[in-house]
Amino acid sequence: MEQMIPVTIDGVQVEVPAGSTVLEAAHKAGVKIPTLCYLKDINQTANCRLCVVDCGGRTLQAACVLPVTPNMVVKTNTPAIRESRRVNLQLILSNHEKKCLTCVRSQNCELQKLCKDLGVEDGEYYAGENNKYEIDMSSPSIVRDNNKCVLCRRCVGACANVQKVGVIGPVHRGFKTAIESPWDMLLGQMACINCGQCITACPVGALSEKDGTQDVWKALGDPSKHVVVQPAPAVRAALGEEFGFPMGTSVTGKMAAALRRMGFDKVFDTDFAADLTIMEEANELVDRVTNKGVLPMITSCSPGWIKFCEHYYPEFIPNLSSCKSPHEMAGAMIKTYYAQKAGVAPEDIVVVSVMPCTAKKFEAKRYQLITNGLADVDAVITTRELARMIKEAGIDFVNLPDEDFDSLMGESTGAGVIFGATGGVMEAALRTAYEVISGKTLEDVNFTAVRGVEGIKEATVKIGDLDVNVAVCSSTGKAAELLDAVKRGEKNYTFIEVMGCPGGCVNGGGQPVVPADVRNWTDIRAERAKALYNEDAAKPIRKSHENPEIKQIYDEFLGKPNSHKAHELLHTTYEQRDVYMN
């Protein structure tokens, strides 16, 4: 039985499990303690000293790392505590570039909110020397502006501890301390996987995605261009947060309506391409199983994971599915199948992907993803960027009526929509692979064993006489753990799903940034995933191979899954990369 420890926080008595911190006890007591550097499961370093409390000792102590003891009495709101927090906040501000009006995180900045909450007004900071840094624009996905960095190290924790990449960290000492890459290298020169988890961990505007909105506005304003947009499954599960909807609210219909009002010529759905991916991937798996191909087969939908594999686990490149990711498949189909149908020259089409993922910006520039001399996807914007564009266009998102996607590449199944959650690709593939292998109808399409936000999940699925061992992992850190077990011979799988971000695309680096005081106590991965599973359950068709538009595209254009034409347009190759450099 778990030992419970009695604690008193500001006169409120609570019991918390042994090993809990004072910060966790205060949360249970309904007492809010301000934090800046603390991010649950990512960074517990007590750098900022804003969470200091009085436990009766000679000095104030940091609540985020201080373990509770039996009958501890804690005060969180004395004059000395308030003054200490204000002084520490003023010291942080003294070396922070205060260009709040033009900052991408304005009104969603934890430092800005702390100043308001703690009563620190403009000019109330220590004047003196400031460090000046060049903005690092070298990455195709991520912008680093150390002039705004508060040295909280949350980005370092996300990169090193969660993703196990570790291409940024503290350098120099004292006043000259900065968060940078080793050897004075730029981020774009490092073996960064572009996942953007550093961005969603950052409390301020020191890290952001490389802006793609101006290129999209330019294309929309060019009458010679036919601009087609496609939003990923996870976007609809989080976009509403930018407009005040509760976390976990699906805004699919409003999203389609907003995109149409922004001026896109066609509004297609990446969910359709997710179904297309399953057709190719499930049949590829069946071929590998029946013809003694390279196993385990590993999914290829996550570009952050793909780059991680190319850098750090190149021996598993032959295991990667050759399928392009869904939005890249959609791009290839738009510039071939749709172009023929619509009578539009492929070179006049601009394909815009709205993604929950900053790594998609890198992926769209891969030379392997060029078809007939044209990039499959021309521009990638994140969920955050789409929200900014909708606001800039003056669209009343909240009151938009629900609208459908355009036909031809807008129909999707429940299997397609769950791609955005960890385990979703596996479940979608199994729904189709089961019927392809067994020749029988799958009555219960819910493979609940692969659902959930755990970092690694395992299951054995019975398909006819075949036992299929599968594994699902999310975050490249968990991928490394799983692959190391496979290398040691401790695990034997047929099929592995890897998502580069913890919890899958719903928690991607391009999703709305959630402040720490919410992230620390709410599992945003699970909340957003609910929106996708609810859509799946409500869909009349829940298997990719039953999508009528998928059937049409094979009948009219591709022939059959894994055909020669399908391989030309829908499959790709990978390359081994240096373990230290890009």
* 3-state SS, one letter per residue, for 248-312: CCCCHHHHHHHHHHCCCCEECCHHHHHHHHHHHHHHHHHHHHHCCCCCCEECCCCHHHHHHHHHH
Give the separation between CA 202 and CA 206, rounded to whole angstroms: 7
- The pLDDT assigned to 380 comes to 98
Q: What percent of the chain has pLDDT over 90?
A: 95
The reported pLDDT for the residue numbered 547 is 98
Task: Give the pLDDT mean for 544-549.
Answer: 97
What per-residue confidence (pLDDT) applies to 486? Answer: 98
When pLDDT is averaged across residues 320-348 and rounded to a whole number, the result is 98
Q: What is the pLDDT of residue 511?
A: 98
| pLDDT of residue 319 exceeding 90 | yes
pLDDT band of 376, cuts 50, 70, 90: very high
Tokens of 117: 């909450």
**Euclidean distance between CA atoms 331 and 339, whole angstroms:** 11
Q: How would residue 196 be classed by pLDDT, with cut points 50, 70 and 90?
A: very high
What pLDDT sits at residue 127? 79
- Residue 377 has a CB neighbour count (10 Å cut-off) of 26
- For residue 128, is pLDDT > 90? no
3-class secondary-structure state, position 16: strand
pLDDT-derived band at 121, boundaries 50, 70, 90: confident
Bond before 502 cis per omega within 30 degrees: no
Phi, psi of 571 (to 5 degrees): -120, 160
Read off the pLDDT of residues 13-31 as tens digits, 9 standing for 90 and up. 999 999 999 999 999 999 9
Q: How confident is the model at residue 192 (pLDDT cuts 50, 70, 90)?
A: very high
Q: Give the pLDDT band (50/70/90) at residue 501.
A: very high
State the pLDDT confidence band at 523, using cuts at 50, 70 and 90: very high
346: helix, strand or coil: helix
pLDDT band, residue 570 (cuts 50/70/90): very high
Give 580's pLDDT tier (boundaries 50, 70, 90).
confident
Average pLDDT over the chain, rounded to an integer? 96
Give the pLDDT confidence score for residue 546 in this predicted structure: 97
Using DSSP's 3-state secondary structure scheme, residue 469 falls into strand
Structure tokens at 158: 């996300």
pLDDT digit string, tens, across residues 140-187: 999 999 999 999 999 999 999 999 999 999 999 999 999 999 999 999
Flag whether pLDDT at 73 surpasses 80.
Answer: yes
pLDDT higher than threshold 80 for residue 525: yes
- Left (φ > 0), alpha (ψ -120 to 50) or beta: where does 425 sit? alpha
Task: Sketch out the chain's domains with CATH numbers.
Answer: 4-92 (3.10.20.740), 103-109+120-207 (3.30.70.20), 214-570 (3.40.50.1780)
CA nearest neighbour of 207 among 179, 167, 234: 179
Nearest to 579 by CA among 186, 165, 301: 165
Instruction: Scan for tokens 């009958």, then name that residue.
Output: 71
Distances (CA, A) of 238 to 162, 385, 501: 22, 12, 15
pLDDT at 358 over 80: yes
Residue 122 pLDDT greater than 80, yes or no: no
The partner residues of 7 in beta bridges, in order of sequence, read: 14, 72
Give the sign of the dihedral formed by CA 154, CA 576, CA 140, CA 370: negative
Q: What predicted TM-score, i.e. pTM, was given to this entire model? A: 0.96
Nearest to 420 by CA among 268, 259, 250: 250
